[in-house]
Structure 1
Amino acid sequence: MKKLSFLFIIFILIHSSVSAIDRRTEQFSTEFGYLTLPLPYVIPGAGMGLGFLGGFNNVPFGST
């Protein structure tokens, strides 16, 4: 009986430590974001220049 109660207590302790943690914030952000980077370049024979590299995320196209 002692062995059974000991195993039960161990099971309860392990189960409580393994159970998932509740998420307090949304998994996916809904804030609009963008990124732009200057992109200088040198091409032999063509010269030097400056371009921009950019990206957008979470662009609101409508509700789903």
Structure 2
Amino acid sequence: MPGYDQGNERDRAEFLCSLFESHGFQPGFSRDALQFSRSDTERLFEWFGEPPPGFAYKWPDT
């Protein structure tokens, strides 16, 4: 399951998850990382849209 490190926010895991749940995603939080299923990850990048300048390398190839 892809994860996004949030170690400095571990005490706010429920809050972080709720931010995405309010948009239809179902993240989990484990070992300091916000995690998404593969299908949610694909939808997440669609939701993000185009990467900001300088961050294209972090977006999946389309």
The TM tier, using the shorter chain, reads: under 0.3
Q: Quick check: which has more Rg, 1 or 2?
A: 1
Q: TM-score, normalised by structure 2?
A: 0.21
* Structure with more relative contact order (C-alpha pairs < 8 Å, separation 6 or more): 2
Higher helix share: 2
Higher strand share: 1
